[in-house]
Amino acid sequence: MATIAVLGTLDSKGHEHAFVAEVIRGQGHEPLLIDVGCLEPPQVTPGILRTEILPALTDMPVDRGLRVAAMAEAVPGFVAGLAASGRIQGIISLGGGGGTAIASAAMRALPLGFPKLMVSTLASGNTAPYMGVKDIVMMPSIVDVAGLNRISRKLFTQAAGAICGMVAVSAQAGAQEAGDAKPLIVASMFGNTTACLTEAKRLLEEAGYEVLVFAATGQGGRTMESLIETGLVAGVLDITTTEWADELVGGVLNAGPHRLEAAAKAGVPAVVAPGCLDMVNFGAPESVPDKFKDRLFYHHNPQVTLMRTTVDENAALGRIIADKLNSYTAPVTVLLPLGGISVVSAPGGPFHDAAADAALYTALKSGLRAGIPVQEFPGNVNEPGFAAACATALLANIAAKSKA
């Protein structure tokens, strides 16, 4: 039997959450009603009071926005503590705007793989602000979460069944993985670095590691950084740092200004390469801003337009990456493929630009602090020899960290 948190604003949606709790109990699990309501008294008796989460709530002005924001700030740490101590094995919530903001904040504080389900009136729109980089299952409520009726009862019952199933399967998977778990390496990949990553992954797996590959599409980079910060990762193979080109220039696949920082914070050994920094990503050709109309483009497919980065942009990218790597405390190695940083920038390719590559490498090498080794490889990023060099360097860095 597992304990499943049923978290919600019980002052306005108490009966709905109590209904879900009873369905969970009927499935053989124990519900824990958690009240995160901010205004009126709860409609049902909670297992955890709102003042246990936010003791200062009763002293705050009766302002809904202020209180919702305060609760959304307080609840993540509280719920993360419940999960870390083993008091809960899953979480479910029902909400409108305020409830979704509070509950999703709590869910984002929980680790990847922890069962989390959000039934929301907002599930059919832009869910990125609520999901972040976590594996939150968002289910549309269809009707408003405002009472029990023939539609909501059915959907809430299905949601309760879904979280029960997620908890049961998660427990089974966890028991199986505990027996044969391998140390984890995370890696970044793009279509233009696939060959490199595929070969490096093979070599690392032969060495006894499990390799998780993340597409460098903005969301992928943010998710990878989030996983690195958990401390569950033994090494980082960050050969595709292209998201920084989009962040700097204004492409659509940026991962934000904190990309490349997680390995430093967590003290994880790493290998970093400038894979695909030759390109900025846009959608269909008509989506490219007019200010770039005179730039060099490559039409990857009808939905993806790539723009070549310039000499000045590459110099800036080199400085940015050097600045990020200078804060690393665990061993980190930079590998530079002198024969091109993507398929299309190889000699003879549409994005081949020796001056731009030189600006990138010069700025990167000159900006690095002493003690960070740089290995230069004469071939392209996708040649087997470069992949082998990346895998070898990462294994050496992991070994060095374990001896420290």
Residue 92 CA to residue 31 CA, distance in Å, equals: 10
- Is 127's pLDDT higher than 90? no
Task: Determine the pLDDT at residue 67.
Answer: 94
Task: Determine the pLDDT at residue 76.
Answer: 96
- Is 165's pLDDT higher than 70? yes
State the average pLDDT over residues 284-312. 95
pLDDT-derived band at 346, boundaries 50, 70, 90: very high
**74 Cβ partners below 8 Å, 6+ apart?**
53, 54
Task: Determine the pLDDT at residue 176.
Answer: 59
Amino acid, res. 294:
D
Residue with tokens 């490889």: 377
State the average pLDDT over residues 10-33. 97
- Is 173's pLDDT higher than 80? no
Which residues sit opposite 32 in a β-bridge? 5
pLDDT 10s digits, 103-115: 999 999 998 889 9
Lookup: tokens for 273:
């390469």
Q: Greater confidence, 138 or 124?
A: 138
Task: Determine the pLDDT at residue 179.
Answer: 55
Lowest mean pLDDT among 20-34, 80-94, 126-140: 126-140
Report the mean per-residue pLDDT for the chain.
94
pLDDT-derived band at 177, boundaries 50, 70, 90: low
pLDDT 10s digits, 312-344: 999 999 999 999 999 999 999 999 999 999 999
- Is 403's pLDDT higher than 90? no
CATH architecture of the domain formed by 3-176: 3-Layer(aba) Sandwich (3.40)
CATH class of domain segment(s) 182-396: alpha beta
State the average pLDDT over residues 34-59. 95
Lowest mean pLDDT among 26-40, 168-182, 261-275, 295-309: 168-182
Residue extents of the structural domains in the chain: 3-176, 182-396
| Residue 312: count of CB within 10 angstroms of its CB | 10
Task: Determine the pLDDT at residue 225.
Answer: 95
Q: Are 53 and 124 in contact (CB under 8 A)?
A: no
pLDDT-derived band at 128, boundaries 50, 70, 90: confident
Residue 110 CA to residue 353 CA, distance in Å, equals: 44
pLDDT 10s digits, 189-238: 999 999 999 999 999 999 999 999 999 999 999 999 999 998 889 999 99
- Is 77's pLDDT higher than 70? yes
State the average pLDDT over residues 42-63. 95
Task: Determine the pLDDT at residue 355.
Answer: 97
- Is 178's pLDDT higher than 60? no
State the average pLDDT over residues 54-69. 93
- Is 274's pLDDT higher than 80? yes
pLDDT-derived band at 175, boundaries 50, 70, 90: low
Residue 304 CA to residue 149 CA, distance in Å, equals: 45
Lowest mean pLDDT among 116-120, 170-174, 195-199, 327-331: 170-174
pTM (whole model) above 0.75: yes
State the average pLDDT over residues 347-371. 97
State the average pLDDT over residues 348-352. 96
| Residue 128: count of CB within 10 angstroms of its CB | 9
Residue 334 CA to residue 114 CA, distance in Å, equals: 34
- Is 138's pLDDT higher than 60? yes
